Each structure stands twice: as structure tokens, then as C-alpha cells.
Amino acid sequence: MVKILDRYILKTYLASLVVVLAALMGIAILLDMAVSANKFLDLKSEMAEAGFWTLVARMADYYFYQAFYYFQLFAALALLVAAAAGMVRLNRTRELTGMKAAGISLYRVLWPIILVGLALDGFYIVNQEILLPRMAVELVRDPDDLNALETFSVEFIRDNENNILYAPIYDPETQEMQAEKKVFEDGRVTFPARVRIFLRDSQYRAMGTIEAERATWDARLGAWRLEGGVRLPPVRQASLLERVPEGPEGEPFPLYYTNVGPEEILRHRTSDFYRYMSYSELKTLARDPMRGNRLQLEVAMHQHITSPILNVLILLLGLPFVAGREDRNYFVGVGLAVALVIGVFILTFAATAFGNAGHVPPIWAAWIPIFLVLPPSILSMEMLKT
């Protein structure tokens, strides 16, 4: 009997969970399409020769990857809303009343739902630590980048040797970092801003600079081929980026081996790229004292630990509210679940903002929501009427 009951509750809950996840992701995609309508229209005009179905395929590819990020956003909400919908259904058909009359505890009824929540939370961790980091290049794309990427600057990316890469121009089509070129009327050519690699030791102390007019990625070697590349000793100057060499100088340097290739450059293209990084990647990046957003990185790093815990606590906090009521109205049950999740999200948002601004230590910003939600979750489960 127990196994039959478990299967029935699981079937009811999983059906609700699939519908809720699909609805939430569908709404998110529709809203994003509405906001990005102008970009998609521009893309349509650019791809007129390729045809309508090619455009549809590009859009489908774009939202396929975005769906994994939407899952991270809506996982906690989907778990609780699906539980609310499932409990309301059992109440409407009087099945929950029958279970209570048969002496079956509500804790026993909710146990399969909690197990599904834990399983989905496990996928949440896998998605966070493995899948999203591998999809980062696709996730940072703008809708108008689906046809062709425009040039942009490489803004001080740290590599595995602790060095910093900078380039005023990067062309993703040719996979080239380029200097800013200036041609005078008399035919003279100068490079006001060059491709630069700032060399540092393990203690982040300056060890010199590599400069070049152009750097082309060689995938076979895993290195940048430097055109006009030279290595210079440390230069003590207020603004090294504005330094314009008057002639050939330094030691020739034709190749620079690094883990920062075209994919890493594309991944770091947006200012919030750290949203798609794993815990270990965030930890490495946050150690760099030269980064201006270290607080944000540290908060995000600690939230990689606390977010899965918070998902489970939200489920435990809300389950007694949606299961212990006799309401047979879907809107009441779902509305209550949504209100609880929104309240926790507001708390998390406020703690994150304080952590990013430096008002509280980053580790506190990540753990404060846990400490505040844990006691009500325990109390809520203890007060559940069985």
C-alpha cells in the first residue's frame, strides 16, 4: 500500500512540476523575446538571404542555452508551486482527507515530494558547477550576435599564469587581438593603444609587459602569435596604457602561451560573466587583488554553497503552508507559495546588495538568508498538523 501511495504522490507531484517549470521558462522566454524584439528584427534583416527557418534555428539555439540559466532562477519557485498545485489537487478530490482518515501522517505524504526536491537540487548543483560554465560562451551572447559578432575590447583578463591580457580591439571572426591604429596625413602610422600582456609573479608584482601590434590565436599551439611582439621590463608610469613607443624597443617575443583563448575572451565579454562560473573558477578569480569586483565575486562564490541549501529550506518552509490548509482553490495555494518564495528572494537580494557594497562581509551576505530562513523552516515543519 505504501509503495502504491508513494508512486501516486510522485506521479501527481512530477506532473505538476513539469507543467510549472515549462510555464515559468515559457514566460521568461516570451518576456525576453519581447524585450529583445528590436534586436531580433535587426538580426532578421541581416539574415534575409539565409531565410526564415535559419533565423528560427538561431533563435532556438539561443534559447536552448538560456533555458539552463532560467532553471537556476526558477528552481526553488517551481518546487514549491508544484507542491502547492499537487496538494490542492489532492484536497479537491478529498484524497488527502482519506489519507489522514487512514492514519497516514502528512509527514509521510510529503516525504516523496521532499525526495524529488532533493534530487532536483542535485541537478541544480550539477547545472551550476558543470553545465553553465561549459555553456558560458553561448550564454553571454546578445540576440543580435547570433549572426555575426562585432569587435569589442579585451578588458584585462587574468590567465593561469597570473598575467593580465588587454587589447583595444578583438575581432571574434578572425580571432585576433588588434592594436588601435592611427594614420597621419604624412603617411606615418602609430598605435596609440597596443595589445598588452601585463606580466606578474605569484604575488601579483609587476614583472614587465609584452606589447604587440596584433595577436592571432593558434589553436594547435594554444598560444597567441604576436606580430611586432616585444617584451619590456617593468615601466613605472602613471598610465601605461597610454604609453606610445617612439620606435622599436624591447626583446622580441613572437609567441605567448596561455589558457585564455577566444572562448575565454568571449566568456568574459560581459561585466556579469561571473554568473556562469563554477565555484573553483570564482575562487581563483576572487584571489586577484587587482580586480575591482572582488566583493561581487566572493559573494557569488559563497552563494554557490548556500543557494542549493536555500532551495531545500524554501521547500520545507512552504510545504506545511500549502499542505496543511483545506483550501481547494489553485490560486490560493499557488499564490501563497509564490508569496513565500518572493519574500525569501527579496531577503536574498538585500543581503547580496549589502555584500556587494561592502557593508557586510561576502560570506555573511551569502549565509544571512540561511540563518534567517532555517529557524522558520524547522518551526513550520514542527507545527504541521498531521
pLDDT at 244 over 60: no
How many whole angstroms separate alpha carbon 89 and alpha carbon 98? Answer: 13
| Averaged pLDDT for residues 361-367 | 95
Residue with cell 482527507: 97
Tell me the pLDDT band of 324, cut-offs 50, 70 and 90: low
CA atoms within 13 A on the CB side of 339: 8
| Interval 91-117: pLDDT, tens | 777 777 677 777 777 777 788 888 999
| Averaged pLDDT for residues 358-374 | 94
- What is the b/e burial string over 243-275, where b = at least 16 CB atoms within 10 angstroms of the residue's CB? beeeeeeeeebeebebebbbebbbbbbbeebbe
CA dihedral (40, 262, 232, 191) in degrees, to 10, reads: -30
Query: Any idea what DSSP says for residue 283?
Result: H
Tell me the pLDDT band of 238, cut-offs 50, 70 and 90: very low
How many whole angstroms separate alpha carbon 77 and alpha carbon 314? Answer: 8
